[in-house]
Amino acid sequence: MQFTLRPWNINDLDSLVRYANNYKIAKNMSDGFPHPYTIESGKTFIENASKQNPVHYFAIDINREAVGAIGFMPQTDIHRKNAELGYWLAESFWGKGIIPNAIKEIVEIAFKNFDINRIFARPFGSNLASQKVLEKAGFKLEARFEKSLIKNGEYEDELVYAIRKE
């Protein structure tokens, strides 16, 4: 399925809130991703994403509608050659090969425009779909920390997947 990655803008607010307000998405995200996902949550996110220069949080656009998000957060201090990857996609678009391709595209953008040599992602051990898309995009499992995270009152394994600049 065709998609584009583009900067966020305030016109994306309605679709952002509509698609992000889904427990099936929120349960696999850090607690910084709210549920329910409100208009205020969306405004804050778009405001922050719009201030980035260069951009590193992108809307996943299908048919001129933001249906998900993907981005990376450059790290600082001794971790400054790394960036953390994050993403989500509207449930109605799951299983269509969008996220592995979006990951490949964002990795290319990150390595081209930022002074980093490693991008990592930290899916929950229970999030098999995210693990599969990372592997399809060329990421390798580097570590598993057993029962190190707490989400919705349950302990989760933290996995660390990474890809390195060639």
Q: Where are the alpha helices (DSSP H) in 8-156?
A: 13-20, 23-26, 39-50, 98-113, 128-136
**Per-residue pLDDT reduced to its tens digit, 45-102:** 999 999 999 999 999 999 999 999 999 999 999 999 999 999 999 999 999 999 999 9
Q: In order of start, what are the domains of the chain with their CATH numbers?
A: 4-117 (3.40.630.30)
Q: What is the mean predicted confidence (pLDDT) over 22-36?
A: 96
The pLDDT of residue 28: 96
**Per-residue pLDDT reduced to its tens digit, 129-161:** 999 999 999 999 999 999 999 999 999 999 999
Write phi, then psi, for 42 (nearest 5 degrees).
-65, -45
- Please determine, for residue 1, whether its predicted confidence score (pLDDT) is greater than 90: no
Write phi, then psi, for 37 (nearest 5 degrees).
-90, 110
